[in-house]
Structure 1
Amino acid sequence: MPSTLPDDLSTYQKYLHDMCNAISVGVCPVDLSLRNPGLMNNSRWLTTSNRILRLYVSTANPSDQLKELVLFIVRVYAPMWFAIKMKPSCKDGGRHVFETINKSRYMKKDLHRVVDPVIQRNVFFGHPENLLLSMITDARPHIRELGVRRIMKARKEAEPVTVRVFKVPTLNFEAEDYTSMIDWRKEPITEPPVTMKIDDETLLRFIHEDVTPIVGFSRYPCHTQAVERHIKLVTEASAAVCGKESRDGFIRVRLESQAKMPKFETKIQHKI
């Protein structure tokens, strides 16, 4: 678990962090045991993980299956959740994919047959375009140069304006670096859309920078947290009302209400 956390963590996110730390040291504080882990919602892995951890600390003799789930949450899911929270830009997506694979290698072979196909079919940030974003912002100059050269080559070989097919690549789960997670000889290499506005001269300067180039691409995150929030809202609407129009009205009213309601961070802000 990271020692420093973002300031915008929700109650359930802090619960996940504190619960993982408690399980790691083998002691669950009383105040933590009394906190609400969040409502169970299968569309939100965060609250599902919180519930599993809460069940584990309150079970005297947990089953082997429960232990396996908790170990995966503590060693893979939670660390990667906070890593993505700390570095949410699309340029970090490729590195997060590689780190996820690395952290999951502790498991037995039979569990790999369950986990690896899930990673494979969701490895959107293992696509060459997204790996190139990671490469041109890498701390290692030779990796930056390799990324820039590949983008320059893709520019020269670019076809007339056509609809590009985004195909999830085949991963190499034994790769020793994120740059070798895919077979570059077999995958079609096209330029990432977010670099198309960067001219050749600026792009080439990335190679000779003494420090890692600071390119945020902050508008394009590498996570789906906003999507998950809307899934939660749609789920609540489906449980509360019936009919397409009623659900639409429920969602619109809820969003408008949230926008108008003030947000209080501390008690002193409640004073008029």
Structure 2
Amino acid sequence: MKILVGVKRVVDYAVKIRVKPDRSGVVTEGVQHSMNPFDEIALEEAVKLKEKKLATEVVAFSLGGPKSAEVLRTALAKGADKAIHVQVSDDEAGKLESFHVAKTLQKIVEQEKFDAVFLGKQAIDDDSSQTAPILAGLLDWPQALYASKVEEGGSGHMKVTREIDGGLDTIKVKVPFVLSADLRLNEPRYATLPNIMKAKKKPLKNIPIKDLGVDITPQTETVEVTEPPVRKAGGFVEDVSALVAKLKEKGFVKA
């Protein structure tokens, strides 16, 4: 099984997000970036399947500006065998949508003949959670979304456990398929120094977006980005009677 893993360069999860003065977006210049955490989990699962001899090759993919090569090198250091960087300008990268990413992935899958695509369930910058289901639709492949456990299913199938509101849902999907990784699927490994050095020699293929013939014209327009309102400070009461009196005063409890 040949697995393609999507990895996205996003503002690091530990960075406090700041809105631009003109409210056109968030500040990204001079801000620490890293691989999307859910994509790290998807990558780890693909590498684990290769270690179990259930996968033959793991290829990392990223659609983005020049600096996206950084997360691809990280992916190579974490166990990916190769990397594919579909290049766009920084300006275009800021306007990419889930549909554009899915269309690009579709082209790569069809050209390179992959058997599975692993993605994080969502990116922490736009939280769309749409790329995996859109891609499954474009490829007409079965999908296993929000995976918390992946096992061999036998006879060309994989068994995937998903966390749902009512508990756990276990499904069997036929290969080829699209998977999106949930938080509790695994704990990603750290890239060791020797593997970081080895990653520099692993192949990283650069493909300009125009070579794939994918139209990345934005379908939506960001009208305004604003910070959430500041939460008002709470208060303290001495006892239950004082609490009830306060609730009555606010109109939350009828007398």
TM-score range, shorter chain: under 0.3
Structure with a larger share of its residues in helix: 1
TM-score (norm 1): 0.25
Q: Which has the higher contact order (CA 8 A, sep 6+)?
A: 2
TM-score (norm 2): 0.26
Structure with a larger share of its residues in strand: 2
